[in-house]
Amino acid sequence: MKGWIDYWCNAFTPDRRELWSASVQRQRVPLKVRVDPEDSFAEPEAMVARMDELGVATLVLPTCECPPHAEPTDYEAFAARPEETLALAKRFPGRFAGAWSLDPSHGMAGVRRAERALAEPWAVALHVHTHSWDRPFDCADYYPYYALAAEHGVPVVMQAGSSGGLMPSACGRPIGIDRPALYFPDLVCVLSHTGWPWVDEALAMALKFPNVYLGTATYPPGRWPAALVDFARGAGRRKLLAGTGFPIVGHRHALAQLEALEPDAALRERWLGGNARSVFHRLFEE
């Protein structure tokens, strides 16, 4: 179906609200979680109704199992669970999908687990919460996952840029994707979170490689740097994916700011859906 494909939307049900609050409070970081009841956490039925109202076709949810040692500040603590994503995908066909959030510290056991996840009907991508692992994109630990994604024809979505929490940031330098993109020409990568503060590096990678895209999750259009806006209007009009990183950005919030940029209809469709449809092929498999 046509409409916005939000390539990175975190688990949205109300039970995640306290987990996000605990994480932000413990780290004392300047992150804001959406509190508007019309744009924040919601039960599945209410979220689908909101999606229908706003023209959102599909939410792609980073999904993983929660390890027993997870702290409230760990991303895995509030990510979607496989059984949740499966239930949503079955109940609302085409509206929800999952990106398996990998753990590169598990070696080949982690690769095999990711392969089992990709055999699930809800799985349309691999996902890397980069700063959780403090590994640059060209770390050898990631290469088996890149090979797996290329073999299965799914993208790898990774957080690029500075960490929003109290974790090392240098691992998120966008230039780190340079060697993997050369080594795996059939691998599609989405550098998420605009790559800030290394936006120019992210733009350079997206311009250099046909298999590297740039995503905006957690950065609403009002916070897109001028260089990113110029890229999205010009040479990168086919390479930008608009996302929310919900609940940091809400769908209503993002769309209101997008309209302020006054994109024409063709450009708006590219940013919200057309480019994502070039990346997430599994969403459209019969």
The residue extents of the domains of the chain are 4-284
What is the predicted pLDDT for the residue at 41?
A: 96
**What's this model's pTM, rounded to 2 decimal places?**
0.96
Instruction: Point out the residues of the chain with pLDDT beneath 50.
Output: none
Work out the angle at residue 137's Cα, subtended by the Cα atoms of residues 131 and 143, and round it to the nearest 5 degrees: 120
Measured distance CA(257)–CA(224) in Å, rounded: 10
Measured distance CA(127)–CA(60) in Å, rounded: 10
What is the predicted pLDDT for the residue at 67?
A: 82
What is the predicted pLDDT for the residue at 286?
A: 60
* Closest alpha carbon to 213 in 258, 181, 244: 181
What is the predicted pLDDT for the residue at 240?
A: 98
* Closest alpha carbon to 115 in 74, 67, 150: 150
CB atoms within 10 A of CB 225: 16
The residue type at 214: L
Give tens-digit pLDDT for 25-37. 777 766 778 778 8
Class of the domain covering 4-284: alpha beta
